[in-house]
Amino acid sequence: MPPAKILIVDDDPAIRNLILRFLSQKNYQMEAADNGKSALEIFAQFNPDLVILDVNLPDALGYNLCEEMQKRTDVFVLMLTSRTDTEDKATGFRKGADDYLTKPFDLQELEFRVNAILKRQRMVTPSTTKQTLVFGNLAIDPERREVTLGGNIVQFTALEFDLLYFLASHPGQALSRPKLISEVWDYSEIVGDQRVVDVHIGQIRKKIEVDVAQPSLIKTIRGFGYRFEPPSAEER
């Protein structure tokens, strides 16, 4: 197979060139941009498989670039930021980011995350192995990758859908954060901040729970992870 194509977008020349040199040695086909305008121009010509995208650029917000790029293709996006605030990460995930790496970062961790993202497949698994899950007025269709609530389509990012489907496929089962990261993000090892799971769960709850403060479908297991709890017959 031809090498994966990666576009790095960062206005800091030291970081941009460091990533460019490092990943070029790993046999990826690389391009780079230092602002939003040139990033979109290169994106259109290069058609990358993955964009490593800084949040803060001189002429654009990385969040908005992420959204614009994913309107054009189903590209993977790894956000880079110096921010550690959970809401900043939530914003990136709402815009479709696949993963998040906080500066400063270790190059080996960057390589690991890049490899894991590129292994992920967004292709639909045949319906013979994945069936639509229905819980009361909530339906999760893996073939169409659609979630409906009361018959109305609810917009989900790719990772939000994958996480919800995996949880709902194991109703009543306690699933740890490392287990969810391994299965949904396809990370064979656990690196970085496991709170990435919490951020996504928070976004999913806003879309499907009646009361986010007291969720009934996705239960928190303190100090461990989460459990999908199907509604009882009386609640349906």
Domain layout of the chain by residue ranges: 5-119, 133-228
Q: What is the pLDDT of residues 148-185, one digit of tens each?
A: 999 999 988 878 898 999 999 999 999 999 899 888 87
CA atoms within 13 A on the CB side of 126: 2
Domain 133-228 has CATH 1.10.10.10: yes
Per-residue pLDDT at 35 exceeds 80: yes
Read off the tokens for 54.
């800084």
Q: Which CATH superfamily is domain 5-119 in?
A: Response regulator (3.40.50.2300)
Does the predicted TM-score (pTM) go above 0.85?
no
- Is the Cβ–Cβ distance between 95 and 67 less than 8 Å? yes
Q: What is the pLDDT of residues 188-230, one digit of tens each?
A: 555 556 777 888 899 899 999 999 999 999 999 999 999 999 9
